[in-house]
Amino acid sequence: MRVCVFLLLLFAGGSWALICKQVVGRMKQIDASNGQVFAVDFQDNVFIRLNGRWTRVSGKLSHVTVGAAGIWGVGRDQKLYKMVEGSWAILAGLLKQIDAGGDQIVVGVDRGNNVFCSNKQAAVTAASYFTPAYSIIPGKMKYYSCGPRTCWGVNAVGNIYCRLHVYPVHCIGTHWVRVPGRFQMVEVGTDGTVFAIDHIGQVFRRVGISPCRPQGIKWARIHFVGRRFRHVTYDLGILWLVETNGNLIRCH
């Protein structure tokens, strides 16, 4: 299997080296957190990465997420599920995309691009229908993802925003900060690293994120010659990417 090395200039006078290889499998979406990797294929089958291989998980989902709040997913019919004691429990709510990567909160968007979140207590204890309780976040987003300190969203026209002061007991946050760029999706890693994919499938990393500037400073492109992507996720120093045709790339 061919292994390619990519160099990305992150800071003046510095670089970030990635060793990347294609791994077996064809997926449409992938999510990694807390050392776990889940994915769904084009037939809505769900998989977990175990011992370097994909192992099928029961059920059908169109989008899956894993994080401090547990393992969650949504079906093609927008129904919401959470893994409870090894089985999928149907929960309250109808969402098209969900993210459990925050500090034990869960967030998501519905078909109308309305944005919702559940605080830590509600998210962690959710195990049956009529749970969890949700709060609505002002604004419209088609994709919303959270890390340990901030959440990031992309709206219907590709504008990108950072949601500030998001806490386990106050998942709504306080306000949006517009960030330059036009993207189709954004994903926040377990450590708060932010990656995004633009409308032609190019991958970018947000540079300069800090406690005093949580929205970062600029976008740095990761150059993958001849490849275009549909999804990205990052955890424990591993960058996972899904190409537009479903091929999987793993970088470290």
How does pLDDT run across 216-231, given as a tens digit for each residue? 999 999 999 899 999 9
Amino acid present at 191: D
Angstrom distance (rounded) from CA 216 to CA 117: 23
For residue 14, the model assigns a pLDDT of: 41
Name the amino acid, one letter, at 206: R
Tell me what the pLDDT averaged over the chain comes to.
93
Q: Is the confidence at residue 12, as pLDDT, over 70?
A: no
Q: How far apart are CA 21 and CA 6, in angstroms?
A: 11
Give tens-digit pLDDT for 104-131: 999 999 999 999 999 999 999 999 999 9
Residues 6+ positions from 7 with CB-CB distance below 8 Å: 15, 16, 17, 18, 223
Mean pLDDT on 34-40: 96
Domain membership of residue 151 as a residue range? 3-251
User: What is residue 16's predicted lDDT score, i.e. its pLDDT?
Assistant: 63
* Tokens representing residue 109 in the block: 């968007």
CATH code assigned at 237: 2.120.10.30
Say how many domains are in the chain. Answer: 1
d(CA 134, CA 247): 35
- Provide the whole-model pTM: 0.92
